[in-house]
A and B are shown apart, each in its own frame.
Chain A
Amino acid sequence: MAGSVLAPVPASTAPAAKSRVRRSLRSRRTRSGLLNGAPIVVYMLVLFVYPILSTLFLSVKGVHGGLTLHWYADALSGANLAVLLTTLRISAETSLISVVIGFLLAYAVSRLRPLWAGLVMLIIVVPHFISALVRTYGWIILLGDHGVVNSVLVDLHVPGAPFQLLYNEIGVIIGTTSVMLPYTVLLLYAVMRGVDRRLLAAAASMGAGRLVMFRRVYLPLVAPGLVNATVLSFILCLGYYLTPALMGGARQTVVAALIDDEVMKQNQWNGAAALGVILLVLTFAGLSLLRLARAIGASARQRGAA
């Protein structure tokens, strides 16, 4: 490893650097550090680097050998493109709704006394530890034509009831939102607990009403949490498979389901690999977006300062 790192170093400095490496290799700390680090390096190589590299390779491998972008062209056209767009749409809808609901929930919890807050957080988070499959079937039972929700609505003579709440986008969004909610609530709750309520008192002492207090003091203080929660649930949603598959219809096919279909039914590994790489890129894009948002926030603050 050391050699490859040193390779591009200009000749004049190379000997010095080499001797530094040799010296540090001789030190006990470096050696035991390498020894301790080795399992993790091996672990990462085997479980992350190798699969990703082989997926990348698969996605550009032609049927008769050689390199090709055919699989990407395929993944980004026709029905496959529609699936990709559906995935993005469902992820966006889910992340927005779960952030809005998460905000209201987290705010309500953050206003409770610590004991009650802990209890409510437990109630919100515990379902997360139940198998997603079980939860999804739970929703299917609740939301069916003769499920609890529709029965109640019918009994209440709500016009239009029973509603179609399953095997369409509503069903998928209900399902995915319930999966993402614990994340957004946890993230937002942590940020909200950190907000110094006395800042609001300070604003009030200067004559700020509730709306101004919220808009000019509270919201800016929790904004980083909102951005984090939105991006996180969006990214988690991108690769989510189970709920859309079970609670959606044909028009809610997501990329993950498409990959499953290509591998399991069509034995089409190259196309699946291309789709996987696209998901990976989208995830990284989401993360970079987060970085960008933070940078913009910081520079806006700097500019506000200027």
Chain B
Amino acid sequence: MRSQRGSGPGAGALAGSGKSLSVSGLRKTYAGVVAVDEVSMEIEAGEFVTFLGSSGSGKTTTLMMIAGFVEPDSGVIKVGRRDVTRLAPQKRGLGFVFQQYLLFPHMTVAENIAFPLQLRGLSKAEVRRQVGQVLEMAGLEGYGRRRPRELSGGQQQRVALCRALVYRPPVILMDEPLGALDKKLRDQLQTEIKKIQRELGLTVIYVTHDQEEALVLSDRIAVMRDGLIDQFDTPRELFERPRTAFVADFLGAANFLPGRLENHTDEHSLVRLDHGALVRARPHPLAPGHRVRAAVQPGRLGLCAPADGFCTGTVETVTYVGTLVRVGVRPAGAESPIRLELPAGRAPVTGEQVGLTADPGDVTLFGDEEGR
């Protein structure tokens, strides 16, 4: 590893330095309470994977087990081909970015970043060169002599990233590294993280409960709930083929329209919604007559003339959010409005009668008993 780093003139030369990671049957209980329940996943070298899930779903615990700070009750963790399950954290060769930065307060920024390099026995000149390089990459030139407490939260966060990236660990684990930052800085750092990860070909496992962040960054997302992975897929698959109602809800806050399965055609399942409309959906194995919920993302619904849609309703609310407009349409007899997201140019006016359209491929059915 050292010779590789020593000879690499720039970041590009090291592309593909990430390692694969495999986790199987990982489980952890705290005093009988299950925190992580049989998590298994194969992560490829150079892949950006995000754990997405609500608070307490076991994301941090899973990450901590991979890093070696928490001992699993059972399961196997492999980095590349090496089984690291019983190895001390310092011997796993991973990088970790903590949510709370955890910069060493008694060292300067440059010393903080130099720390992992010094541990690896690099020469002084080499350490200085690499620290300078990574500071420049993070837009922190000239900050090397400051103490962590003399930096803003965002700057500290970037230093923490630098410190984890500078020694190019084959796998980097990040626990909500942007959690404490404002939106603008988040966007900026997301771009930076993604760029560095691509350039160095690093394997990154990232934790967040912000679905937008997950979608922007990830090659694949593991949606976690109650210590289990509901679905581990590409963002597109998660959107288009959510496997559980929870996934559909968590990514994009889907509309859930209650109804009854009427019958199946060759390509679609037909659902009679409770307020009377008939909607075509992706096929579902349940027999006709069962109660179901039709999930459809707000962004996948469209407006049309009242007679042309699968259902008609009255526009109740119109809210502009940047270039998008959020529209609430209540069909006659419905309990709550159906939420739509449209380009701002196509905004209807409140009180207007409209029809709703949806591509049957965007409507996913879930049995009524399926938990959320």
On A, residues with C-beta under 8 Å from B are 196, 198-199, 201-209, 212, 216-217, 220-221, 301, 304-306
Interface-central residue, A196, A212, A221, A305, by most chain B CB under 10 Å? A305
Whether B332 sits at the interface, judged by CB under 8 Å, is: no
Q: Determine the distance from Cα of A221 to Cα of B91 in the docked complex, in whole angstroms.
A: 24
- Within the complex, the shortest CB–CB distance from B110 to chain A, in Å, comes to 8
B275: chain A residues within 8 A (beta carbon): none
* Contact, CB under 8 Å: B90 / A196: no
* Contact, CB under 8 Å: A206 / B119: yes
A301: chain B residues within 8 A (beta carbon): 106, 108, 147
* Contact, CB under 8 Å: A207 / B88: no
- Within the complex, the shortest CB–CB distance from A214 to chain B, in Å, comes to 13
Nearest residue, chain B, Cβ from A217: B104
- When the two chains form the complex, which single residue of A196, A198, A202, A212 contacts B119, counting CB atoms closer than 8 Å? A212
* Contact, CB under 8 Å: B102 / A199: yes
Q: Determine the distance from Cα of A50 to Cα of B100 in the docked complex, in whole angstroms.
A: 54
- Within the complex, the shortest CB–CB distance from B144 to chain A, in Å, comes to 8
* Contact, CB under 8 Å: B115 / A305: no
Interface-central residue, B69, B88, B106, B108, by most chain A CB under 10 Å? B106
- Within the complex, the shortest CB–CB distance from A209 to chain B, in Å, comes to 6
User: A202-B96, A205-B96, A207-B119 known; A305 and B146 CB under 8 Å?
Assistant: yes
- Within the complex, the shortest CB–CB distance from A222 to chain B, in Å, comes to 10
Q: Determine the distance from Cα of A254 to Cα of B146 in the docked complex, in whole angstroms.
A: 48
Whether B322 sits at the interface, judged by CB under 8 Å, is: no
Q: Determine the distance from Cα of A68 to Cα of B69 in the docked complex, in whole angstroms.
A: 70
* Contact, CB under 8 Å: A209 / B90: yes
* Contact, CB under 8 Å: B100 / A203: no
B119: chain A residues within 8 A (beta carbon): 206-208, 212
* Contact, CB under 8 Å: B93 / A207: yes
Looking at chain A's contact residues, the main secondary structure is: helix
* Contact, CB under 8 Å: A198 / B100: yes
Beyond A216-B115, A304-B108: 10 further Cβ-contacts under 8 Å? A198-B98, A204-B68, A204-B90, A205-B69, A206-B90, A207-B91, A208-B90, A221-B106, A304-B111, A305-B145
B96: chain A residues within 8 A (beta carbon): 201-202, 205
Nearest residue, chain A, Cβ from B108: A305
- Within the complex, the shortest CB–CB distance from A273 to chain B, in Å, comes to 45
What total of chain B residues lie within 8 Å of the partner, measured CB to CB? 30
A201: chain B residues within 8 A (beta carbon): 69, 89, 96, 98, 102
A217: chain B residues within 8 A (beta carbon): 104
Nearest residue, chain B, Cβ from A297: B106
A198: chain B residues within 8 A (beta carbon): 98, 100, 102
Q: Determine the distance from Cα of A204 to Cα of B116 in the docked complex, in whole angstroms.
A: 10
A305: chain B residues within 8 A (beta carbon): 108, 145-147
A208: chain B residues within 8 A (beta carbon): 90, 115, 119
- Within the complex, the shortest CB–CB distance from B162 to chain A, in Å, comes to 12
A196: chain B residues within 8 A (beta carbon): 102
B111: chain A residues within 8 A (beta carbon): 304
- Among residues 74 to 118 in chain B, which have CB atoms less than 8 Å away from a CB atom of chain A? 88-91, 93-96, 98, 100, 102, 104-108, 111, 115-116
Q: Determine the distance from Cα of A208 to Cα of B95 in the docked complex, in whole angstroms.
A: 12
A199: chain B residues within 8 A (beta carbon): 102, 104-105
6 A-B pairs, CB-CB below 8 angstroms? A198-B98, A201-B98, A202-B102, A205-B95, A206-B163, A209-B90
* Contact, CB under 8 Å: A306 / B145: yes
Nearest residue, chain A, Cβ from B163: A206
* Contact, CB under 8 Å: A203 / B106: no
Q: Determine the distance from Cα of A207 to Cα of B102 in the docked complex, in whole angstroms.
A: 15
* Contact, CB under 8 Å: B105 / A206: no
- When the two chains form the complex, which single residue of A205, A216, A306 contacts B90, counting CB atoms closer than 8 Å? A205
- When the two chains form the complex, which single residue of A206, A209, A304, A306 contacts B115, counting CB atoms closer than 8 Å? A206
Nearest residue, chain A, Cβ from B160: A202
B35: chain A residues within 8 A (beta carbon): none
Q: Determine the distance from Cα of A221 to Cα of B102 in the docked complex, in whole angstroms.
A: 13
Nearest residue, chain A, Cβ from B119: A207
Q: Determine the distance from Cα of A306 to Cα of B105 in the docked complex, in whole angstroms.
A: 16
- Within the complex, the shortest CB–CB distance from B88 to chain A, in Å, comes to 7
* Contact, CB under 8 Å: A205 / B67: yes
- Within the complex, the shortest CB–CB distance from B189 to chain A, in Å, comes to 19
B146: chain A residues within 8 A (beta carbon): 305
* Contact, CB under 8 Å: A206 / B116: yes
Q: Determine the distance from Cα of A212 to Cα of B120 in the docked complex, in whole angstroms.
A: 12
* Contact, CB under 8 Å: A204 / B108: no
Q: Determine the distance from Cα of A82 to Cα of B146 in the docked complex, in whole angstroms.
A: 49
Q: Determine the distance from Cα of A196 to Cα of B106 in the docked complex, in whole angstroms.
A: 12
Q: Determine the distance from Cα of A301 to Cα of B146 in the docked complex, in whole angstroms.
A: 10
Q: Determine the distance from Cα of A306 to Cα of B95 in the docked complex, in whole angstroms.
A: 28
* Contact, CB under 8 Å: A221 / B90: no
Nearest residue, chain A, Cβ from B111: A304
* Contact, CB under 8 Å: B145 / A203: no
* Contact, CB under 8 Å: A206 / B95: yes
- When the two chains form the complex, which single residue of A202, A207, A220, A304 contacts B98, counting CB atoms closer than 8 Å? A202
Q: Determine the distance from Cα of A201 to Cα of B115 in the docked complex, in whole angstroms.
A: 14
Q: Determine the distance from Cα of A204 to Cα of B67 in the docked complex, in whole angstroms.
A: 10
* Contact, CB under 8 Å: B167 / A206: yes
B104: chain A residues within 8 A (beta carbon): 199, 202-203, 217
Q: Please, what's the 1-or-0 string for B162-180, where 1 marks a CB less than 8 Å from any CB in chain A? A: 0110010000000000000
B164: chain A residues within 8 A (beta carbon): 205-206
B116: chain A residues within 8 A (beta carbon): 206-207
B106: chain A residues within 8 A (beta carbon): 220-221, 301
- Within the complex, the shortest CB–CB distance from B141 to chain A, in Å, comes to 15
* Contact, CB under 8 Å: B145 / A207: no
- Within the complex, the shortest CB–CB distance from A303 to chain B, in Å, comes to 10
- Within the complex, the shortest CB–CB distance from B31 to chain A, in Å, comes to 14
- When the two chains form the complex, which single residue of B98, B105, B108 contacts A221, counting CB atoms closer than 8 Å? B105
- Within the complex, the shortest CB–CB distance from B113 to chain A, in Å, comes to 10
3 nearest A-B residue pairs (beta carbon): A205-B96, A206-B116, A305-B145
